[in-house]
């Protein structure tokens, strides 16, 4: 009787731990951010950006909006977040593609972007805020 009760309670604890682990791994954080970007080609080529991402582990996916660019207005982005390094991968708009990389310190992010089709690159900076999904 005691062994049977112990076995049932152990199975219940193991099942509870498995459910908690599954719920934890399925949870995604939301990442919201905004800031400014500038081209190295000239100070007049600049604009703003805003981003909404879903973060699951190290993977990022979401949307970015840009102002001030004659080539890009925004679109879908995917990337990775490894420690304080963020690689947003490639933003594609027709035949043009831009890649974004950055470094995060607390909620501040700064980095570089590059568009090889027009041989231009520059910097971007702003704030990122992570909100944990319940």
Residues 97-108 have pLDDT tens digits of 888 899 888 889
Residues 6+ apart with CB under 8 A from 45: 38, 39, 68, 122
CB–CB of 52/30 below 8 Å? yes
Q: What is the DSSP letter of 28?
A: -
The per-residue pLDDT for 131 is 86
Q: Are 113 and 129 spatial neighbours (Cβ–Cβ below 8 Å)? A: no
pLDDT above 80 (res 116): yes
Cα 107 to Cα 12, 73, 130, distances in angstroms: 41, 24, 8
Give me the pLDDT at residue 15, please: 28
Tell me what pLDDT residue 89 has: 78
User: Where in the chain are the domains?
Assistant: 28-132
- Taking alpha carbons only, the member of 103, 26, 118, 24 closest to residue 71 is 118
Q: CA triplet 108, 110, 111: central angle to 5 degrees?
A: 155
d(Cα 22, Cα 20) in Å, to the nearest integer? 5
Instruction: Read off the pLDDT of residues 64-81 as tens digits, 9 standing for 90 and up.
Output: 999 998 888 888 888 888
Task: Tell me the per-residue pLDDT of 23-51, one tens digit each, with 9 for 90 and over.
Answer: 344 568 998 899 999 998 866 689 999 99
Average pLDDT along the chain: 77
pLDDT for residue 48: 95
At residue 65, φ and ψ (nearest 5 deg) are: -120, 140
Angle 106-123-43 from CA coordinates, rounded to 5°: 130
Architecture of domain 28-132: Beta Barrel (2.40)
The pLDDT of residue 124 is 92
User: What is the average per-residue pLDDT within 81-96?
Assistant: 82
Q: How confident is the model at residue 18 (pLDDT cuts 50, 70, 90)?
A: very low
């Amino acid at each position: 009787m005691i062994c049977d009760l112990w076995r049932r309670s152990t199975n219940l604890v193991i099942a509870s731990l498995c459910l908690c682990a599954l719920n934890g791994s399925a949870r995604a954080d939301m990442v919201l951010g905004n800031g400014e970007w500038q081209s190295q080609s000239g100070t007049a080529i600049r604009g703003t950006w805003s981003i909404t991402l879903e973060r699951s582990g190290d993977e990022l996916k979401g949307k970015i909006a840009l102002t001030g660019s004659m080539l890009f207005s925004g679109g879908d982005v995917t990337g990775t977040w490894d420690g304080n390094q963020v690689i947003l991968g490639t933003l594609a708009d027709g035949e043009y593609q831009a890649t974004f990389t950055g470094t995060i310190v607390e909620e501040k992010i700064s980095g570089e972007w590059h568009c090889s089709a027009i041989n231009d690159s520059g910097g971007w900076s702003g704030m990122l805020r992570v909100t944990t999904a319940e």
